[in-house]
Structure 1
Amino acid sequence: MKNTFGNTVSMTIFGESHGPAVGAVLDGLAAGLPVDEAAIAAAMDRRRARGDGLSTARTEADAVEFLSGVYNGHTTGTAVTLMIRNLNTR
């Protein structure tokens, strides 16, 4: 199964829920695009498991870390690599 999708702009996903992290590499984005990290954090907070009996009992922050491609709230023109660490894999 392929983990890369798209042509002009491509996304490669990596990791698994019981591994150390999940993430993605976005390639082909132009430099200077705004990246609203607060909006991304709010969206992640809305979808995260809360251990409420309706989803997995594992509770995690689901914090997105930008490892490359974003500087001062804008894309740099290089591949954007983002990662979410799995802190509770049990």
Structure 2
Amino acid sequence: MSEQNQAVIRADSMQAAYFRAFLADERADLQRYLGEHVTRLQGCMTVGSTRLVSHHRRCIRTTENQIRHVDSMLARLDRRFPRARH
């Protein structure tokens, strides 16, 4: 393999590591947001306040979908650049 090809592979791997770290941070933020809405939903259900239940459920479903999407991107990065994992 030529020196230029090796440099390209190293650059791609470094970029993949950067994006993996970014996506991992994004996933952690989404997990925190999800936890907040789960707690709020439980509070609404405990107190009997049904007014905000549908709002929190919708936020939970949306956030769960976003987490699945981020997980999918992380899995694709891991398959393509296995050394980029930390």
Which protein is bigger by CA-based radius of gyration?
Answer: 2
* TM norm structure 2: 0.32
Q: Looking at both structures, which has the greater relative contact order when contacts are Cα pairs under 8 Å and sequence separation is at least 6?
A: 2
